[in-house]
Structure 1
Amino acid sequence: MFRKIFKTVFGLLLGLALFGIGLLAIAVLATYPKLPSLEIVTNYQPRMPLTIYSSDGKLIGMYGEERRAFTKIDEFPPMLVNAVIAAEDKRFYQHWGVDVTGVARALIGNFRAGGVQSGASTITQQVARNFYLTNERSYRRKFNEALLAYKIEQSLSKQQILELYFNQIYLGQRAYGFAAASQIYFNKPVKELTLAEATILAGLPKAPSSFNPIVNPERARLRQRYILNNMVEEKMITPAERDQALAEELHYRRQQVEIDQNSLYVAEMVRQEMYDRYGEDAYTQGFRVYTTVSSESQRVATLALRRALKGFGLGAYRGAEAFIDLKTIEADALDENLDQYLDTVYTVDGLQPAVVLQASRSSIEAYTQGGNRIKISGNALNYVARTINNGKDNAIRPGAVIRVRKLDRGWQISQMPELQGAFVALDSKTGAIRALVGGFDFHSKSFNRATQAERQPGSTFKPFVYSAALAKGMTAATTINDAPIELPGMGSGGRPWRPKNSDGRYSGFITLRQALTASKNMVSIRIVMALGVHEVHQYVQRFGFNARQVPDSLSMALGSGVATPLQMAQAYAVFANGGYKVSPYVIDRIEDNQGRLRAQMKPLVAGESAPQVIDPRNAYIMYTIMQDVVRRGTGARANALGRRDIAGKTGTTNENKDAWFAGFNPDLVGVVYIGFDKPRSMGRAGFGGTIALPVWVEYMRYALQGVPQKGMPMPAKIVRNGGEYFLQEQQSTSPRLAIDNRGATPDAEDIQAAGGDPVIPEETAVEPVQPQNGGGGTAPSPEIDALF
């Protein structure tokens, strides 16, 4: 009887087993042919970020969701490979893609749990999932995963499978692959990992968030101990090596990637250009872009601009930058959560971010990076007293994000300056950008004022008007009346327009050289009137300005159009290089992820392939005039450099809303712009010669250090007579121009002229000009049609 029951049960079980095997075979036969092609794993093309570097190889930008550094499997240290195998797949070298023993163990566990709670995925199955499948917990997905794993094992070697896994697996902190994780968590190449560090990383694939050593150090250590014990069991390491690894003190890096914070505006320019060229592929193909700026040049330019913006003053305290609701954070997780937040807010120029924990009129307690609690009280609160718990959204209260600075006497609450600015340095011969800063801080305001801010250039535009005068027949010795002028009906509301010199003083008949040196508004206006508005409007466009930016009216004489600092640098380069228009560029070369050259910049070089836009003699004479500007005129503060080969022009617009300085020597152009993003007066301190020029001086002191002084070579067919330069073909005498009652509608004021005429040492290549009273006596100069 018992034997009969046994046979019946056995037969039923056998039948069910055969039926199950049959169904499995049918499922395999039906599914296997439909499996996706293995091309993406056999021809692996990892998604690698766009990386951008300075000319000296410093990382200045990284863009792309996946941060990965593709590495051959034999370049990973064996102990890391062993650690991962011990953690994820101890029978990796024995199975055919699926570990049957592990599957059986997982099935029993899932049966007891009443659902799919755990799996037995091998490394090969994880490769299949990462490339083809989702993380859905279902038997269907596990079945497809197993078939794909088998197919992969039939096509790739074990080493190839490991290479895919080690480069593709996600390990938290936006790191894909162990090479990237090594840099992100430990700031070192993967080859330099210790056993302790390797086993920490090996614990990440199972649950990158749960075992993140920065966020959950205790859980990461428990996972590390499990892996080390497995390695001892598998005889990969000795117990002594395990104990030593467990005792090792680990040091993690909190910032994900060390990117040069002084070059972020440049990096963003490159990102935009790469996207325009390659589309979304720019972020996934691992392009390496090398720029024309050096890290040191960027550092100096950034500090110089920041010093000027801070020196102007911070203004009244504007309140907290952001707010965190501390009530939603558990007390025992407060430090961890605040550190995670502060990781995303950068310290800028010593201004550290801090989160207010307690606030009262007498004291403030705040949290800074790394668990530091600081207290600010007494006179240190005077600056912010009105914003403490005042009921406004930006009040200093618990949860407010503020900026603090460490001083010798304690902590101080501060803020970013509201005044903004930009700086550009340009190689005048090639157009290569040598430095570019678009504002005080990229993180708080990414708007790039160097390339995007079109502002009135004021008197820095005058040299282009004077160049037009030379091109149309005037000379540097031509005399023009610097006298008040009234133009009926040309002012606002139909009232007369009465332009004036900013210092309110007038010099009568003076030469063009004297007029530009002292930045005389009346002379600039009369030049445009004499030449014709349309003629000047057409002429100045050859410097790179477009018709929209320059008003086709008398107001252009005073710089009432608009231009970006980069455009001004390009325009001044025409004077510096002898009359050629160069095209600014910041990308030097582009490489693929293997270091192979994809593109190399071939600039149009002045004197070779760049188009000539003005007569070299015109450029030379303008250079000598602007030398006088920095010797004895409005740009006299540039004398602090002690160089005789520099030239330039200051500029300040109406009500001191914009301040400029554009200066150069024959090889390098530098342009500084300073002003508020929402234009308003900077007050009495907001002149180009007082706030912008010092930035230029500080940068040029660095850039020209050790560079021999050399003036611009004098072109042929220039003659010198009476201390002035003339074109050889100019023969007639210099007329006096007294033009009145011509229409205009300018809205820009000039900079105040610097007082006095400092004594300037003789210059080697270009002898300083001493203009003669009355326009240089009998020096040749053409006749000019004008009203007298």
Structure 2
Amino acid sequence: MKKFLIYFTLFSIFCVILGVTSIYAVYLHFKDELPPVNTLKQVEFQTPMKVYTADGKLISQFGEKRRIPLQFEQIPQPLIDTLLATEDVRFYSHKGVDFIGIFRAALAVITSGNKTQGASTLTMQVARGFFLTRDKTYIRKIKEIFIALHIEQELTKEEILTLYINKVELGYRAFGFGAAAQVYYGKDLSELNIAQFAMLTGLLKAPTAYNPLRNPKRAKFRRDTVLWRLKQTGHLTEPQYQAAIAQPLTAKYHGAQIELDAPYIAEMVRQQMVDQFGEEVAYTKGYQVYTTITEEAQNAAQLALRENLHNYDERHGYRGAFSQLWQDPETPWQEQQILEHLNRQSEFGLLKVAVVTAIDDEQKRFQYLDKSGEYAWVNWDGMSWARPFIDDDHQGEAPQLPSEIVKVGEQIYLRQQSATQWQLSQFPDASSALVALNPTNGAIIALSGGYDFYQSEFNRVTQAKRQVGSNIKPFIYSAALEHGFTLASIINDAPINQWDRQQGTVWRPRNSPPVYDGPTRMRTALAKSKNVISVRLLRSVGLDNLIDHLAQFGFSPHDLPRNESLALGSASFTPMELASAYTAFANGGFIVEPFLIDRVVTPEGEMIFAANPKIACDPCAQATSDELYPQEQQPQAKRAISAQNAFLIAEAMQSTIWGGGNWNKGTGWNGTGWRAQTLKRTDIGGKTGTTNEAKDTWFSGYGPNIVVTSWVGFDDHSRALGSTRPNPNLGKDQVFGKEFGAQTALPAWIEFLRVALADVPQQASAIPDNIVSVRIDNETGKLTTQADHTSLFEYFIKGTEPSSYVERDPLPDILNAEAAGEVTEKAVEGIF
């Protein structure tokens, strides 16, 4: 017996030595293949880029993985208890490897022949997650053990737990429990209850098989198993356990918590970030990008654009239902069938989809069912607009009954008419763009590149080059000021008939409408948008001089036609280019560069980029600055025109809105932008623009610290915006007639500024040095001593004011002074 014990002891020692030697030999074999675990101390988790407004509202996020990295102090204790009870109950007692668990797993393999138990500790799972694959092989398991032992030497238990909780995949591109709480519950991790912690922990076993959104029964079974483990480990009492398993599943998919829907802005940021930092860095480093827009301004811009498009579209008539789901004598669809169909349909902009379920001609209304399962009625005033659309210039007869407009079984679009009422609508055919800039530094205040990004990603603000029409005239008048003209200069508003010897034709530019006022002051000509006067100014300035002048505003000479059609706006620019050029009239003559990204911050709060825009100031040392733009770092924007020139053109554009003359004396007149008088502000100005056949309509203008450009047209360049006739069903305030800038593009400009300037007090224009004001005669532009309705005060650059007084002589014949080369006509109907 004694000899047996000696042999047994020796054999045991030999086995231990052999085992240790074998393990060490295996370790030496794999040593060079083991990764350096100290890299885990500097782990940078792939987190998405987030885009915010200037006031901190989330616009979008970009990145393949959704992750919200947590510090250990941010991890709720109930989650730690749940994890350890389910995944690694001896976590705080082992050194990375649970040999009891390994023995249990080995016994399972011996008895069953299958690798049913992994025996992986949380530390081993961290090793696998960061350094290895998920293949179930013995080699991988051996490497996993050695790496786990190394990890325990390098990291604390808290650090290991934190890595695990931030790393694990939990389905729907959610990595880590912080992101999973948002994806499944739309809450911060700290807001979850024990049943929800158990639900998320249950996903660790198989994120697809136990996913509550795909397999709710299996998910609940797994959740309850996790809760049972909590009870077994003493973390839940019996009553707490019973209460937890009685709770229903509350998980549902939550996208990113977008606080402002501005996808055109988000896409512009994405492109800029990828260009600047590269795709991999931009999408994975968790950068927080703060833009220059604000929630209020962006919402106002998008709403103004959409409602204006609907108003244009609806006055041109109803194009009919989106589709017909059933019709007599077919069997009507059941409610559930309708709802299933509606839930597959996309909704855009201000529109929601619905199906007509009943028509009541007697009470002039129809009933609909929408996605929410709600039945409601559309009254007559919500559909009486819907006369048939024939083409862009013609509409059918006004309807008298709902049954003439809709049919039961039709899928239609609705848009909100009031807080409780919806009206019949349709997806607009036309397109639009609106952009607002800060003229001091070029910051984009708001931008909308179309009706709905998800219907068309084409950003018309930055990508659509369209003919600008009369929107170019302020720049032509600015050139005229540089070549001896003043706002009081008299130019002949009479027809032009120019013989073109090369073409063998006569060029006859016409006013729109074709009304001619004879000798006209330059301020009035700009406000009334006189085409022939614009041509006469171009001739006086010279085409080459005009192109050089336009180039000072940032327009490329290659985009400027070298012929007299330039005076009528035949050049094509994007809305952004046009708005940027208009900033010169609002900031004293400087051209600022539009920018959208204000700053970029890392997840740790380090600022890695801050905008440093060129400022409209002369000199910039006198400019007011803030923390982001320190005074000593402010570069000066390029000067395009003098402060005096900018002031005079801005003054003239105020007359576009407010007109002039004396209405009580019969001399009052309106500029083309008179509709903007509804804003009740005298510190705004702008210019309409309409191209041939109204294929493009514009309004660009300014208010205090803001410049806004609005464009409406069709994406199809050959299609004109057309015209409408009055609708007998609508009131006296309806809009009808030919579409043009003041009627089609200006309303969006007005409604946006109504919000953007709501809290901005009226501001008097700052008058630059060397500007004088003198009283002049209305008709001749000369000095006058009269202080009645025949005179007004006008601004001049000092030294250019008139030097002679008016003589009350008979007016000259306005048709006798045509320029050389013009074909004069003996009489022109409608001049006076």
CA drift of 1:17 comes to 11
Does the CA-based 8 Å contact 1:577-1:666 persist in structure 2?
no
Give the structure 2 partner of residue 309 of structure 1.
309
CA drift of 1:179 comes to 1.3
CA drift of 1:496 comes to 3.5
Does the CA-based 8 Å contact 1:182-1:188 persist in structure 2?
yes
Tell me the secondary structure at the aligned position of residue 506 of structure 1: coil
Alignment partner of 1:421 is 2:417: no
Alignment partner of 1:519 is 2:529: yes
Give deviations 1:104-133, integer Å, cap 9, x for gaps: 444455567665555333222221222122
Alignment partner of 1:712 is 2:765: yes
Does the CA-based 8 Å contact 1:666-1:711 persist in structure 2?
no
Give the structure 1 partner of residue 166 of structure 2.
167
1:386-397, aligned counterparts within 5 Å?
Answer: none
Please say which of residues 53-62 and 175-184 is displaced more in the overlay: 175-184
Give deviations 1:288-340, integer Å, cap 9, x for gaps: 1111111111111111111011112266359579xxxxxxxxxxx9999999x
Give the structure 2 partner of residue 682 of structure 1.
721
CA drift of 1:532 comes to 1.1
Tell me the secondary structure at the aligned position of residue 450 of structure 1: helix
Give the structure 2 partner of residue 596 of structure 1.
606
Tell me the secondary structure at the aligned position of residue 578 of structure 2: helix
CA drift of 1:516 comes to 0.9
Does the CA-based 8 Å contact 1:352-1:404 persist in structure 2?
yes
1:85-234, aligned counterparts within 5 Å?
Answer: 85-109=84-108, 116=115, 118-234=117-233
CA distance in 2, matches of 1:512, 1:167: 69
Give the structure 2 partner of residue 630 of structure 1.
657
CA drift of 1:78 comes to 0.2
- Structure 1 length normalisation: TM-score? 0.80
Letter in 2 for 1:612: R
Give the structure 1 partner of residue 700 of structure 2.
662
Please say which of residues 270-279 and 720-729 is displaced more in the overlay: 720-729
Alignment partner of 1:57 is 2:56: yes
1:116-515, aligned counterparts within 5 Å?
Answer: 116=115, 118-249=117-248, 251-280=250-279, 281-313=281-313, 316=319, 347-352=347-352, 368=371, 372=373, 415-489=426-500, 495-515=505-525
Give the structure 1 partner of residue 360 of structure 2.
none
1:401–1:531 distance in 2 versus 1, CA, 3 Å: same
Give the structure 1 partner of residue 797 of structure 2.
727
CA drift of 1:24 comes to 5.3
Does the CA-based 8 Å contact 1:427-1:433 persist in structure 2?
yes
1:566–1:291 distance in 2 versus 1, CA, 3 Å: same
1:77–1:718 distance in 2 versus 1, CA, 3 Å: same
CA drift of 1:640 comes to 0.1
1:740–1:306 distance in 2 versus 1, CA, 3 Å: farther
Does the CA-based 8 Å contact 1:262-1:302 persist in structure 2?
no
Tell me the secondary structure at the aligned position of residue 496 of structure 1: strand
CA distance in 1, matches of 2:170, 2:136: 20
Give the structure 2 partner of residue 528 of structure 1.
538
Does the CA-based 8 Å contact 1:374-1:411 persist in structure 2?
no
Give the structure 2 partner of residue 66 of structure 1.
65
CA distance in 2, matches of 1:311, 1:508: 36
CA distance in 2, matches of 1:621, 1:666: 16
Does the CA-based 8 Å contact 2:169-2:207 persist in structure 1?
yes
CA distance in 1, matches of 2:484, 2:313: 47
Does the CA-based 8 Å contact 1:591-1:598 persist in structure 2?
yes
CA distance in 1, matches of 2:497, 2:655: 30
CA drift of 1:665 comes to 2.0
CA drift of 1:181 comes to 1.5
Letter in 2 for 1:139: Y
1:729–1:637 distance in 2 versus 1, CA, 3 Å: same
Give the structure 2 partner of residue 548 of structure 1.
558
Give deviations 1:170-199, integer Å, cap 9, x for gaps: 112222111122122222221222112221
Does the CA-based 8 Å contact 1:529-1:739 persist in structure 2?
no
Give the structure 1 partner of residue 646 of structure 2.
619
1:407–1:571 distance in 2 versus 1, CA, 3 Å: closer
Letter in 2 for 1:461: I
Does the CA-based 8 Å contact 1:490-1:497 persist in structure 2?
no
CA distance in 2, matches of 1:338, 1:60: 30
Tell me the secondary structure at the aligned position of residue 592 of structure 2: coil
CA distance in 2, matches of 1:459, 1:490: 27
1:74–1:297 distance in 2 versus 1, CA, 3 Å: same
Does the CA-based 8 Å contact 1:116-1:138 persist in structure 2?
no
CA drift of 1:347 comes to 4.3
Letter in 2 for 1:597: M
Please say which of residues 467-476 and 546-555 is displaced more in the overlay: 546-555
Alignment partner of 1:650 is 2:688: yes
Letter in 1 for 2:696: D
Tell me the secondary structure at the aligned position of residue 711 of structure 2: strand
Alignment partner of 1:692 is 2:751: no
Letter in 1 for 2:712: I
CA distance in 2, matches of 1:129, 1:716: 74
Letter in 2 for 1:614: I
CA drift of 1:68 comes to 1.4
CA distance in 2, matches of 1:710, 1:305: 26
Letter in 1 for 2:570: S
Give deviations 1:524-549, integer Å, cap 9, x for gaps: 11111221111101101111211222
Does the CA-based 8 Å contact 1:128-1:149 persist in structure 2?
yes
CA distance in 2, matches of 1:192, 1:708: 44
Give the structure 1 partner of residue 819 of structure 2.
739
Tell me the secondary structure at the aligned position of residue 47 of structure 1: coil
Give deviations 1:11-35, integer Å, cap 9, x for gaps: 9999999988876553332012321
Tell me the secondary structure at the aligned position of residue 590 of structure 1: strand
Tell me the secondary structure at the aligned position of residue 348 of structure 1: coil
Q: Aligned to 1:582, which of 584, 589, 592? A: 592
Tell me the secondary structure at the aligned position of residue 674 of structure 1: strand
Does the CA-based 8 Å contact 1:658-1:686 persist in structure 2?
no
Tell me the secondary structure at the aligned position of residue 313 of structure 1: helix
Give deviations 1:500-540, integer Å, cap 9, x for gaps: 11212222221211211111111111111221111101101
- Structure 2 length normalisation: TM-score? 0.76
CA drift of 1:209 comes to 2.2
1:451–1:229 distance in 2 versus 1, CA, 3 Å: same
Tell me the secondary structure at the aligned position of residue 262 of structure 2: helix
Give deviations 1:87-120, integer Å, cap 9, x for gaps: 2222222333233333344445556766555533
CA distance in 2, matches of 1:621, 1:651: 20
Identity score, percent? 39
CA drift of 1:678 comes to 1.6
Does the CA-based 8 Å contact 2:58-2:260 persist in structure 1?
no
CA distance in 2, matches of 1:633, 1:199: 69
1:404–1:244 distance in 2 versus 1, CA, 3 Å: farther
1:114–1:535 distance in 2 versus 1, CA, 3 Å: farther
Unmatched segments (≥5 aa) in structure 1: 5-10, 322-332, 357-362, 387-399, 744-772, 774-788
